[in-house]
Amino acid sequence: MSKILVTGGAGFIGSHIVDRYLALGHDVIVVDNLATGARENVNPGARFFPLDVCAPDFARLILQERPEVINHHAAQTMVRVSTEQPAYDAQVNVLGILNLLQAAARAGVRKMIFASSGGTVYGTCRCLPISETEPFAPESPYGISKAAGEHYLRYYAANGGPCYTVLRYANIIGPRDTVSSEHVITVFIHRLLAGQPPVIHWDGEQAKDYLYVDDAVEANVLALDHGDNQAYNIGSGRPISVNAIYRLLVEITGIRIPAEHGPKRAGDVRLFYFDCSKAARELGWQPQVPFEEAVARTVAWYRARCDSGAAIRVSAKD
C-alpha cells in the first residue's frame, strides 16, 4: 500500500477519492484550505492538514511526509471567477501546482495524478467526440490555467520530477457538491428543493458531458499504477443539454416550477463530449453509472439532507 497525499481532499471530488483510497488500505494525507471544501467531508481515517497549496508550509509538509503519490485536486474551479479575477485564478492554479511540483521533485515523489478540465482546455471543437489529440484552445482563464498545469507536469517529468497521469474531467456530478460551484445540476436541485425557479442561461441547448463522481473516483484508483505520463478524457461520451437536465430533474423530484432564463455566461462552451477510448484501452476504465441514475442518486442525497434538516451547503463557511 502507498502513502498518498490528496490536495482538495475536503472538497467534492477529492473527498470521495480519499474515501476510496482509504478503503483500499492506503495511508492518506489530506491537504485543504477549506475555501470551498468542508471539514465534515474529511474521512476520519485520513490525516488532515488545513493548508493552502501556495503556502511554504505545504511544500514543507511534502518534504516531511515524502508521499509516494500526490493526487492534486485543489484548485480554483469556477469559469466565472476566472474571467472576473484571472490573476487569482492563476495564483491558485498555476503558482499552486508549481509550489507542489518543486517540493515533489525534491521529496522524490513517484507520481502525480492531476485533475484537469476537459470541458475548458479544449475550447470549442468542431471534431466531436473530442479525443486527447485535440489541440488546446481554452476560452477562459480557468481553461488556460489548467492547460498550463499540464505543461508544467510534462516539464517536471522530463527534468527529474515525478511522472504523472492527467485526468481531463467532464462535468462531475454527485453528493457533496456545493451550490457555490455553480454546477448546473447542483444549482437546479437546490433551487427546486427550495421552491425557487432554476435559471437556464443562453437558450438551454448548450450540451456537455456529465459523469457520476464514483466513476471519476475509479479513474483515480486506476491511475495509481497505470497511465504514466499520459492524459485521459474521463467522461460519459454523451452530451446532455441544460434543457434536458431541467426536464429530468422536474420528473425525478416531482417539483414543477417553470424555469427562468438568463444570458449566456462568459466562457461557456456550446457543445462538448468525449471520446474516452484511450482510457478504456490503457487504464481499463469505463463509466458504469448511466446519467439518469447518476442524477437520481444525486437528488436522493440532497433530498435526504433537506429531510434531515441539513441545508444544502452554499459554501464551506455557511
Q: DSSP per residue over 46-84, as a string? A: SEEE---TTSHHHHHHHHHH--SEEEE------HHHHHH
Q: What are phi and psi of 199, to 5 degrees?
A: -110, 120
Which residues neighbour 307 within 8 Å (Cβ) at sequence distance 6 or greater? none
Alpha carbon distance 239, 171 (integer Å): 10
The C-alpha angle with vertex 274 and arms to 288 and 272, in degrees rounded to 5, equals: 125
d(CA 185, CA 195): 15
- Catalytically annotated residue among 21, 122, 142, 169: 142
CA distance 17 to 70: 12
Q: How far apart are CA 121 and CA 135, in angstroms?
A: 9
- Residue of 117, 62, 112, 56 lying closest to 89 (CA atoms): 117
| 142 catalytic per annotation | yes
Q: Which residues are catalytic?
A: 142
